[in-house]
Structures are given as structure tokens and as C-alpha cells.
Amino acid sequence: MLAYQHAYHAGNFADVHKHLALYATQLALLRKESSVTYVDTHAGRGRYPLTGKETQKLKEYEQGVLPLWYARQALSNKHPLLETWLMALVRAQDSQAKPSLTHYPGSPWWLADSLRKQDRLSLFELHPGEHDHLEAQSWPSNVRHIHVDGLAGLRRLLPATTPRLCVLIDPSYERKEDYTEVAETLAYVARKARHAQVMIWYPLLPAGRHQTLLERARDAGLRKLWRSEVRLHSPGASHGMYGSGMLFFNPPWGLDEVMNNVFTDVVGLWGQEATHRGDWWVGE
Ligand code: SAM
């Protein structure tokens, strides 16, 4: 289908949720020297100018990342994760001397930012135009961008040649089969790489299709599935996306506590009705 373009949504609350979770997972992986293969199955463009005409159309970043940018001093004082993440967000801007928020970095940027020489990163993007944007950016030599289907590309990469594997699966869910295909891919990865750390983003929409993904993952017999969900408001209050979910397979130790602490404060910036819930979907 490939109608979706992430530039319309860059920097929204779901991006902040996803990229804080991604960054927290990466920081945990950096505690050990052994090399990591990172895979981003649905990469997008990699970095988005907030002045771009697509992003300006909906201006979702004004409700998402902008309140964190304005509150960055107070947030950094409270949480080490937010301090490091916000410092990285400053690095993603064109000018670091007196930074203003002109760009929002996508998952490839966040992953590449803390890539070490022993790690590698594979970025899959199927949309030709989006892939052109991705290709046009400069990436370290251990980053590959590949213009093929991300879930198939991930399967072909297994088993990874590094001791550790960390995967982000972030489709646009334009087809309802995406939910089942993602769950099937997770089960496949878990069979081929039992210790892989996998993060799956899913939208919370009134139709509730994310439940299929969660139930398929549980019914496949997977264990150690932790989920984090941000809700901006109750499902009935609008037709569109009311929340953002992340499902973690083999989350790093302590991630639950970090996410719960950080999002207690972050959701406060997103309105009075906004909430965060973190819990085990399937325990050990
Ligand atoms: N992960 C990105 C980030 O956090 O910055 C955003 C990704 S966006 C939600 C989903 C992307 O997947 C879009 O750029 C879309 O073109 C791409 N896409 C759609 N179908 C795909 C497929 N089968 N394989 C790889 N990429 C696909």
C-alpha cells in the first residue's frame, strides 16, 4: 500500500514514547562490550526538518516533543534517561551552540547515535521515496540501508553474526494483516535468537486491532513480554489514534522501572487526561 509517510507525524507523542523506549534499551545494551546487531525493520527517513511542508501540515510535534524541549532543564534534573535523551536531541539539531528545535530525529538516527565500531545497524525501508531520503543522509560505515520488505529482511538476517541482537519493528499498520505478520515475525525471531531484544510499536486505535498482535504473541508461547502504553485520552473521545504502545520481548533489566518513572512525568506534559501504564503482558 505504502501511502503512509512518517514526516506528517514526526515528533508526535508516539515518536517520543517509542524513541525514549528505544534509547533506554540501547543504553542498557551499552553496559556490555560485546557487539550488537541492531535492526530497524521500518526505518522511515531518519531525520525530519520540522519546517518541512508535510510536518507543518499537522504540526503534531507541537503536542509531542515540543513540551519536553521547553521543559528540558527540569526533566534532565529529574531523570538520567531524559537528561541523556535530551542531550542527544540537541546533537540532532543543525546548530548546537544555541540550539533551537529545527529537526526531529527518527529511529535510524537514534540507533546510529550510540553505535560503536563493533556494532552494526541494518535499516529497512520499502517506500522508494522514503528510502531515497534515508540514503541521502550520511551514516557511519557500519550502517546499511536496504530497500526491501523489513520483516522479510529481518528473517533473512538471522541468525545474527554478533553475540547480541536488538530489533525495532515499527510498521505503519496500513493493512490489518500487519498485526498478525508482526506477531508471527516476533515468534520467528524468538525461535532463531532466543536472547534477542525486540521492541514492537503499535497504535492504540478505537478498533482495538493491537489486541490481535498481543494475543498472537502470547498464544505463540512467548514469555518475557513487557508492554508500555501511553493514552492521551479515552478511546471514545476521537476517531483517531488515542494512544501509543510498545511491546518488549526480553526487555533489559530495570527497563520497567525507568519507563514507569520517566513517563509519570512526561505524560503530565501531554494533558490532564494522559496516562502511562507499564505491565507484564506475559511474565517469565
Ligand atoms: N521507525 C521510524 C521512526 O521511528 O522514525 C518510523 C517508521 S514509519 C511508522 C513506517 C515506515 O515503514 C514508513 O516509512 C513506510 O514507508 C515503511 N514501510 C511500509 N511498509 C514497509 C515494509 N513492508 N518494509 C519496510 N518498510 C516499510
How high is the ipTM of this complex? 0.99
Q: Is the CB of 10 under 6 A from ligand 1?
A: no
* Residue 200, beta-bridge partner list: 169, 247
In whole angstroms, give the CA distance from residue 17 to residue 269: 13
Strands (E), 111-196: 120-124, 143-146, 164-169
Residue spans per domain, the chain = 12-236+243-282
**Annotated active-site residue in 132, 170, 265, 279:** 170
| 150 HSE (CA, 13 A, CB side) | 27
Check if 40 is active-site: no
Atom number of ligand 1 nearest to Cα 171: 10
SS3 assignment, position 15? helix
Contact indicator for 203, 226 with CB cutoff of 8 Å = no
- Our mutation pick for probing the ligand 1 site, out of 41, 111, 172, counting the most ligand atoms within 8 A of Cβ, is 172
Q: At what angle do helices 255-266 and 80-91 cross, to 10 degrees?
A: 70
Contact indicator for 106, 46 with CB cutoff of 8 Å = yes
Q: What is the CATH number of domain 12-236+243-282?
A: 3.40.50.150
At 135 the pLDDT is: 96
Q: Is the CB of 244 under 6 A from ligand 1?
A: no
Residue 149 has pLDDT above 90, yes or no: yes
Work out the pLDDT band at 98, boundaries 50, 70, 90: confident
Contact indicator for 246, 18 with CB cutoff of 8 Å = yes
User: What letter represents residue 86's amino acid?
Assistant: L
* pLDDT tens track for 175-206: 999 999 999 999 999 999 999 999 999 999 99
Q: Is the CB of 229 under 6 A from ligand 1?
A: no
* pLDDT tens track for 236-281: 767 789 999 999 999 999 999 999 999 999 999 999 999 999 999 9
Q: Are strands 164-169 and 36-40 parallel, antiparallel or unpaired?
A: parallel
Work out the pLDDT band at 1, boundaries 50, 70, 90: low
* pLDDT tens track for 49-84: 999 999 999 999 999 999 999 999 999 999 999 999
At 234 the pLDDT is: 87
Atom number of ligand 1 nearest to Cα 46: 5
